[in-house]
Structures are given as C-alpha cells and as structure tokens.
Structure 1
Amino acid sequence: MRGAQVVQPATGEIYGADVLVAGGRVAAVGQLGGAQAARTVEARGAFLAPGFIDGHVHIESSLLTPAGFAGAVLRRGTTTVVAEPHEVVNVLGGRGLDWMLEAGRTSGLRVYGSVPSCVPASEFERGGAVLGAAEVAELLRRPGVLGLAEMMNYPGVLGGDAAVWDILAAGRASGLRLDGHASGVTGRDLLAYAAAGLHSDHEATTPQEARERLRAGLWLMVREGSAARNLQALLPVLREKPRRAMLVSDDVSVDELLDLGHLDRLMRACVAGGLHPADAVALVTCNPAEYWGLHDHGLVAPGYHADFVLLDNLRDFGVLETFVGGAEARPGTATPPLPGGGVDLGAGWDAARFGVPAHWPVMEVSPDQITTGVGAPGSGDARLVVADRYGRGEWATCWTSGTGLTGGTLALSVLHDAHQAAFLGGSDEDIRAAGRALTALGGGAVVVSGGEVLAQLPLPYAGLMTDLPPQEAAARLGEITAAARSLGCRLPYPVTTLSFLGLSVIPALKLTPRGLLDVTAWRLLDGDAPGRPAQPGGQSSGAPSSVGAPGGSD
C-alpha cells in the first residue's frame, strides 16, 4: 500500500506512510520507496485504518448466515467479529456453536465466538436446548472460542444460584474472558456482580451507569443496535476518553446494516459528537482486540494481521476498500447445512383459542427500546401470543399497547432467547393461519390478514437465519414491514421489536409460553388468581430482593 495516511489509534496519530504486506501480515510501515513488492495498491492519500472489530454481536439477529452477514459488513470496513451465538445455541445446543464457527471460517470475515452462559436465559424459559457447566466447559475448549458469553442471569449470580456459579467457575477455569450483562444493576449489586469475575458490560444506558461500570473495573461496551440505542446517551462518557471502552452493535437487522451501516455509522456519530477520529477508531480496533486477547489484531503495525480499511475521509468514514489478510475482502458464497430447528406448534394448534386473563396488566411496547412498560388491564390494543415451537403444545397470551397494529397478524420464529413463535395482533383464525405458515416455512417471518399471507421471509437455518443475499433478505424484510404498516403497525422495526417481547431477563413484562412474566418481581403471574405469583415448578427463584430491574438487550 503506497501513499496512505495511516490512522494509528494506539497513539492518536495520523501520518503518511507506505505499508508492506507479506504472508497476510504487515511487514513494515514507513517510507518504503525502495521496497520490492509483487503488487502495489495506490492509496493516493486516502486514510488507512485497522479493520473494524465488533466485540459483541449476535449474527443471527441480522437474520443472515455468517456469509450473508459478511456480505453486509465487509463493505462497511468490518473485518472481525466476536459472535455470541446464543440464539442458535438456544435452539440447537452445542452444535449450534460448532456450526457458527464452521460457517464463520468460510464467510470472508474473521469470526470468533464466545460460549453462551445462559441456555435457557432463565428458569422461566424452555427452548430447544439446555447447557450446564459441564457442556460449557467443553465448549470453552473449542478453537476460535475467546470466552464465556454474557451472563444475563444476574439474579442467579447475586442470589448464589449453584448452577449459575458452576458455569462461572467453568469460565474462570478456562482463563478466558467472562462477558457481563448487568441490566439495570447498580450500587452494591453491581460491585458484587463484578466481583463474581465478570469483565465487561454492554447494558449501560446513562452516563452514571457507564461511569459506575468503569469504576467497578468492567470494560464498557457501548451498544448501538436496531433494538437498543445507547450511543448518544453515553457520548459524554466517551468524550472523557475512558481507557477500557469499545463500540458494539449487539443486535442489528439486515435492513439497517444496508441502509445505515455497521460500526462505521457508530464512528460517524462519535466524531459528530466531538471525539477525535483516531479515538473513535480505537473504539472499534485496538480496544476490542485488547479486551479479547487478539494480540495481532487492531493496529496497522508490523506482525499484525493485514486487516485494514481504506477510507475517503475520517468524518463520514466512507469505505473505498476493505482488506483481510492483505487481500481485497470478499464474502463467502457457501454455508454449511444446519439440520433441525423448525417449527412444531403441537397437535392442538388448529383448534386453539387465544383468550387473555382479564386482570392481567398490559405490556406497553416502546418503538426504540427492548424494555417494556406496565399498563392497566383493559388498555391494550393488540394481542400477543407466544407459543412453544418445539412440539410441547404450550402457549400464552397477553395484551400489548403501543404497536398500532389494528388488524392482521405479524408472526415470527425469532423470539429472544428461547426462540419460540410469536404472534402479534389478529383474530384467532389469523393467528392459527400464521402458525401454519411458519410451520410450512420451517421458521421465518410472515404477515397474515384474513387468512391470506401478505408477505413472508423464510428463515430455514434454525428458524433464525436465511441464506438469501443481504439485499434480497432486506427487500423481503421490507415487505414484511410494509405489510405490517398497512395494518396499522407504527414500529420502525417491527420484526426486531417483536423478537424481544419474550426475553425473560428484560423488564418489565415479557411473555413466555408458560405465561406473563413480571421480570422486576421475577415471577410468573397466575392466570386465575390476580396478584398471586406462580413460580416455575412451584420453586422459588432465589432472586435477591435488593436487585433492581434489568434494562437492556441480550
């Protein structure tokens, strides 16, 4: 690479230099006019930055396979991701992690992984798999695994749940990173959570929470995804140049990746918010590389992987070319098969009726957060049905408000984290018809009205992902969104928002096939006796009374 303006995030410098690459790694950086090279790329004064690293992302939430995800983000400068595949692992167990790593190797990206710590996310969920400490310890030894993924079950951590602590012990024994997920946890509870051995958190939503995490020794992952957007609120903290911080996307949909970008758009927001460009670049290069122990990633420097991105400016971060291992990056074209993980709603589905207990509170849905509010009984305008998709024949219903849906049904086989089938709005007949459509697709997203399928997106990989090219997948998702809006839905990303209405570790109300969950109180509401909690299996959860409500995404 000749005539580049090299961005050096480790020192905050931007300086003119040539870059010599040999064997996929950087051999030299400087004025190399006499160096011999088989090929020369003329930078012509463009900016050369290290390839961007997403330190916490759920590839499945894009609805794409790793190859499809690569097709969407390589052109935005992302070269490396640390995938947290607890979506596919909740459906298929350990073989879901193995598949993610295998598919990553042929994707065109560098895909590392972390081992899901909460499968299922809590005792209120039953998905397709369960991982205990023994299984977690085995998976932590897989090549390409960098640590234990987000520990969402903070009540189990703080309450001394033996199974949770056994998983933490397996993580500590591995010597790898232990990712945190401390939604809404503050004060002494946060200190106790950090003392359990966790190393990071991506759930801060206010500057106070962010600073509290940094003071507790946790790395701060500032999240900006499709369902939860925290960057603007946390920019004041990033302007203070914290030593241990990074930007992550967490969950981002394919349409937003194509329309708005990936980590490049987060850096645009940082620079617009007052950060020096080199400091913004550090948040997606050397900082996440240091956190994850990727010691030959994150800098344009001798011995490092020749993963870098050529930019036309450091304001908009327009990508001219992305390189992985010194070669122009290209997404993979093949994805390994992934049997299993379809939709089985049980034998009674075609006769099902979906009444809601009259005394139950209403789930208030927000258009740009995955937390929900609590409304008075009778104030809802669209039903939500969550049905077990693993053949157990269970479902539950509640009322929601805030979606705007006035007719028809939006249905989805992606429901964090157990990934049940979710149905928003509609008559009993439309809900049943949507269930039949999901079953026939083997998983996906559909909109049904009057028994007719208006739009659909098949997700044949574990009911979570498609192998369609990103542009076609985004077009299909756009059709789903347009069909939902034609029925009154006013959510900007209805599929993404719906996918979080069953996540049992995010307040305040969430729906599982076993009933409506009050996350703050950590109890299922009894369908027959107003106000009396119903613990799963008749057992107390053991959650400590001092714990506050969680407040972030997975």
Structure 2
Amino acid sequence: MQTAPAGPEAAREEDRRRLVRVAQGEEPGDLLIRGAQIVQPLTREVYAADVLVAGGRVAALGSGFNAARVVEARGAYLAPGFIDAHIHIESSLLTPASFAAAVLPRGTTTVVAEPHEIVNVLGAYGLEWMLAAGRGSGLRMYASAPSCVPASEFECGGAVIGAGEVREMLARPDVLGLAEMMNYPGVLRGDAGVWSILTEGRRSGKRLDGHASGVRGRDLQAYAAAGLHSDHEATTPQEARERLRAGLWLMVREGSAARNLEALLPVLRDSPRRVMLVSDDVSVDELLTLGHLDRLLRACVAGGMHPADAVGLVTSNPAEYWGLHDLGAVAPGHHADFVLLRDLEGFGVLETFVGGMEARPGTSTPPLSGGPRSGGVNLGPGWAGASFEVPAHWPTMQVFPDQIVTGVAEPGAGDARLVVADRYGRGEWASCWTTGTGLRGAALGLSLLHDAHQAVFLGGENGDIRAAGQALERLGGGAVLVQGGEVRASLPLPYAGLMTDRPPAEAAARLGEVTRAAQALGCTLPYPVTTLSFLGLSVIPALKLTPRGLLDVRAWRRLP
C-alpha cells in the first residue's frame, strides 16, 4: 500500500495543487497584477493580460481573477525578472546584499555568480560564503564552480582548486555548472590537470562555461569539441558568428572593463536565439549611474532589436541555458519574478517582484572566518625596503581604456610603472612599464587583481608604492591613492580584500574619490580601478604582469 508523501515534498506538492485550484478559479490568489502589457519573449509578443499569483508562482494569465491583493499596472509593461547569466559580484566591490541593493531597483532578480575571485583568495570556503551571503541578499543567487584557480600555471594566489574540489562544488544543487574554462591553452594542449577538471564537469551533467579570448579557426573548433557550451570573449561580429556556428551559446559582455555590445549588435539582431547579455565585471559606480542589465536592454532596442527579443537575452535565454526552468518567463507555474516597466525604450523600472513580493535587499552579510581565511594583505617582511626596477629589455604594456586585452610597445616607451606584489606573505614582486594610463606623481594601489588577486600598483616612485602597500595592509585590502607618502583617497574592502558591505552609494562615493584623485594627477582611464585590476590576468593577451614576471600570453611564456 502506498503512503502519502511527507515533509518538504508533500508541502511542495500541496503548493502545486493549490496553484491549479487558483488557476481554475476555485480559490482566490495572493496577488493580482491587473491591466499589464505582458512582454513575452517566448512568443516574441507584447500583449494585454492580468497576472494571477499564488504561493510565489504565477497561477494564470488572462482576466476575471480574484486575489487578496491587487496591484494596478495601468498599462505598464510586465517583463520577466532579469537574469545575469555570468557575473563576478566581487568586481562590483560589494557583498551580495549590497549588490542586491544596487540591482533590484534595476529589475535584476537572479544572478549566476562566478565566484572565482573570492575562491582564488579563500579556496572552496569562498564559494560557500558567497552562496550563504546570496541566500540573504534578496536576489535568487546561483553559482558556477570555478575551474581555473589559479587561472594558469603562471599565477599563484591564495588557493589551488583541483578536480576533487570541483567535483564537490558541482554536487551542490545551487551550483549550476563548471565556470569559465579560461585556460584554453591547457584545453588545446591536453594538460592533465585541466582535463581532469573538464571530466568532472562532464560527469556532473551540468553546463561547462567557456572563455576563449582571441581563439579562432581550428583552435575554436577544438575548444568546442572538448565539451564547452558557451563563450563570452567575442569582440567582433566575425568572432561571435563563428562561436554560434560552432554550437556555442554566445554571452555578450558589457561591463566596466570590457564593452562588446555595440560591436556585436548586428549579430543579436540577426540571431537572438542562443545569445545572452551578461555584465561579467561591473563596478558599483557604473551600476548606480548607468544601470545593470536595464542599460543593455536600452542599447539593444535603440540598436533596432524588437523589445521582446531584447528581453529574451536576459530572461528566457539564460534560464534555458542554465536549466532554470521555473524562471525566465511570465507564465503559469513559473516563479513570480517580474519587473513592472514604464516603457520599452528607457526600461524605467516601476517595481521589481521576487516570488510575488516587492523585492527588498538583505540587510546583513555573514562574517568571514578569522585567521588565514580573512583574506587580508601581507606583502612580506621585505616590503619596507623594496625597490621596483624594470628589466631594460622588457617590452612596455599598452593599456586600453575599455578593454581587458593589452598591447605591446617598445621597451622604455612607457610613462607609468606597474608593480604586482604577492599579497599572501611570499614576498615576491615584479615591475614593468605601461603606456596609456597617464598617471604621474602618485601611486594607485589595489588588493584586487584578476584572478589571483595579488596587490597591484600603478605609477609613483618607490616610496609612494611602498606607502600604498602599507596602507593596503592596514585596511585589510581595498583601493588607495598615495601622493608624497600620504593617502589622498581610499576605499576599504575588508571582505577578502575584494568587497565592502557598505551601502552602494557610500561605496561608490569612496570609489569616486579614488578615481577623481587619480584623474587629477593625469590618469586618462575612465575606470582606473577596474582597468588596473585586469593587468595581471594571465589568460588574456597580450602582456600581463604577475609577482613572478612579465608574461607573453600569446606565446604562453614568461619573459626572461
């Protein structure tokens, strides 16, 4: 004899049964959005309908419904809640709750975080902390399991993640797949460690995110053949179409350090089916002034896309890609995550709903464990007397204001020195010259440097660089601008040296002080902190600097 299910399963079944009764009019719903224009990316339509909600899910669309509470839309547009399918929350400089306070008012309700920033600092504990913080943030937060910690054999951060740790991460239900496989040379050359991680990804049956900067032709075909499912590194229409033709989902990145949307709009207009808009890395000041996914939608519609197609790039498409079958559409049975919009040109948000309730960000952040897991800054005992000479034969790194790739200039052609120092107590550092930044007479120092998150310093004489490092040690991480040995502006980032739990406006104000102080001393970068934080990422061409030397990424070698 069968027995009735008990516990959580029984409760979930009863919730679904009630949803059916509400849809059939046998019971009233909890919430009714009346008089809305539904933006439906599934059918490429915008049409009038009321939306009935019960138990946090959509029960029915139509008319003639009853509910305990009614919200009058008065013809406003109701779209599914926006989903950022690939984002490093740490790059916003905010903890998840503070990040939610910045993006919920912009219509974002779900994120798939790629927490390899904090995992590079704290190991697998960083993923656990990020998901715990996400549960109290007010957003629906999922994650992908970092695949490249460190990003390559040229980097050495605070942790090393191998196949065993990846397998344990992928076993979590809130981890949706393997995060961006940045070490494409390792994939193509059959590196045993890289392939053991790919094997765990395939065994999980979950998604395998790609990251193939500059990879074209047969190398791209081989990369896709290894089992990767997506890529967000296309910068030209040719690269984008090549990825789609290779069966990869295309993530179009538009963040603070890399802006690819304008160049790829022709592809989106022609082929919106297997495409997503993602922010990847976006700083708090840009979130508050320009917006999050809403600003990407504005650009798409202004560029000629149908509004429903544009909305699909941040709703139904990412939901399909990540297997979030109850998200991404305003439809019966789906979570009642939606955004009420004033219009479909400016995408002005009137109200954001998560689970049928007006969205509110969380108010607390779990603490980080003490000791080595606190993720502070330790530059080693030799830092107080350090000097930072550049080898005369090394080429100069060309820095670009809106890209994370760098170029190559002749030795000695630079105007600002770059120093990268190990912040985990190993006492290592290296220096090179840069051009394209303009900073003079001061040192800008950070404790965030993708992806190993060493300490990085731009400009300045030896004394200012040393003083900036000592200031970072005192703060436990952050961003500082030092001139004449004195700190002129600073942003403390006490969570792993990457994030603050201060309100977004306060964090943006402190970041703005650092930016303006750097620009007043000649820095020409619009977002100097974000751009500087990518000058050590060893898997992005052409030159990158680590504490152990200057890398020629295309040749995949450290310069002698």
TM over 0.5: yes
Q: 2:536 aligns with which of 502, 526, 530?
A: 502
Question: What is the match of residue 118 of structure 2?
Answer: 88
Cα distance between partner residues in 2 of 1:508 and 1:245: 27
Cα distance between partner residues in 2 of 1:208 and 1:242: 15
Cα distance between partner residues in 1 of 2:544 and 2:221: 27
Cα distance between partner residues in 2 of 1:243 and 1:255: 31
User: Does residue 27 of the first structure (1) align with residue 59 of the second (2)?
Assistant: yes
- SS of the residue aligned with 1:455? strand
Residue type at the aligned position of 1:314: L
- SS of the residue aligned with 1:82? strand
Question: What is the match of residue 67 of structure 1?
Answer: 97
User: Does residue 219 of the first structure (1) align with residue 249 of the second (2)?
Assistant: yes
Question: What is the match of residue 396 of structure 1?
Answer: 430
Cα distance between partner residues in 1 of 2:238 and 2:541: 20
Shift of 1:171: 0.3
Q: 1:424 aligns with which of 450, 454, 458?
A: 458
Residue type at the aligned position of 1:336: P
More contact order relative to length (CA 8 Å, sep ≥ 6): 1
Cα distance between partner residues in 1 of 2:549 and 2:345: 48
Question: What is the match of residue 469 of structure 2?
Answer: 435
Residue type at the aligned position of 2:257: A
Question: What is the match of residue 153 of structure 2?
Answer: 123
Unaligned runs of 5+ in 1: 527-554
Cα distance between partner residues in 2 of 1:381 and 1:140: 45
Shift of 1:487: 1.2
Cα distance between partner residues in 2 of 1:243 and 1:91: 37
Cα distance between partner residues in 1 of 2:537 and 2:471: 23
User: Does residue 154 of the first structure (1) align with residue 184 of the second (2)?
Assistant: yes
Question: What is the match of residue 206 of structure 1?
Answer: 236
Question: What is the match of residue 474 of structure 1?
Answer: 508
Question: What is the match of residue 28 of structure 2?
Answer: none
Cα distance between partner residues in 1 of 2:207 and 2:178: 6
Cα distance between partner residues in 1 of 2:351 and 2:114: 27
Cα distance between partner residues in 2 of 1:164 and 1:346: 31
- Spell out, residue by residue over 1:337-391, the C-alpha distance to the aligned partner (whole angstroms, 9 max, x if none): 1131100000000010111111111011111111111111111111010000000
User: Does residue 132 of the first structure (1) align with residue 162 of the second (2)?
Assistant: yes
Cα distance between partner residues in 1 of 2:558 and 2:310: 43
- Indicate if the aligned counterparts of 2:272 and 2:309 stay in contact, CA closer than 8 A: no
Shift of 1:417: 0.1
Residue type at the aligned position of 2:214: G
Q: 1:181 aligns with which of 211, 214, 219?
A: 211
Q: TM-score, normalised by structure 2?
A: 0.93
CA RMSD of aligned residues (A): 0.6
Question: What is the match of residue 200 of structure 2?
Answer: 170
- Spell out, residue by residue over 1:273-294, the C-alpha distance to the aligned partner (whole angstroms, 9 max, x if none): 0000000000000000000000
Question: What is the match of residue 58 of structure 1?
Answer: 88
Cα distance between partner residues in 2 of 1:243 and 1:271: 16
Question: What is the match of residue 361 of structure 1?
Answer: 395
1:364-375 maps to which residues of 2 (within 5 A)?
364-375=398-409
- SS of the residue aligned with 1:39? strand
Cα distance between partner residues in 2 of 1:241 and 1:362: 40
- SS of the residue aligned with 1:41? strand
Shift of 1:241: 2.9
1:433-472 maps to which residues of 2 (within 5 A)?
433-472=467-506
Question: What is the match of residue 7 of structure 1?
Answer: 39
Q: 1:335 aligns with which of 362, 365, 369?
A: 365
Q: 2:379 aligns with which of 316, 339, 345?
A: 345
- Indicate if the aligned counterparts of 2:272 and 2:313 stay in contact, CA closer than 8 A: no
Residue type at the aligned position of 1:390: Y
Shift of 1:143: 2.8
Which 4+ residue blocks in structure 1 deviate beyond 3 angstroms?
Answer: none
Question: What is the match of residue 533 of structure 1?
Answer: none
- SS of the residue aligned with 1:422? strand
Q: TM-score, normalised by structure 1?
A: 0.94
Shift of 1:242: 3.5
- Spell out, residue by residue over 1:390-426, the C-alpha distance to the aligned partner (whole angstroms, 9 max, x if none): 0000000001111011110000000000000001000
Question: What is the match of residue 344 of structure 2?
Answer: 314
- SS of the residue aligned with 1:454? strand
- SS of the residue aligned with 1:347? coil
Shift of 1:3: 0.5
Question: What is the match of residue 270 of structure 2?
Answer: 240
Question: What is the match of residue 10 of structure 2?
Answer: none
Cα distance between partner residues in 2 of 1:149 and 1:159: 20
- SS of the residue aligned with 2:490? strand
Question: What is the match of residue 334 of structure 2?
Answer: 304
Residue type at the aligned position of 2:177: G
Cα distance between partner residues in 1 of 2:463 and 2:520: 19
- Indicate if the aligned counterparts of 2:441 and 2:521 stay in contact, CA closer than 8 A: yes
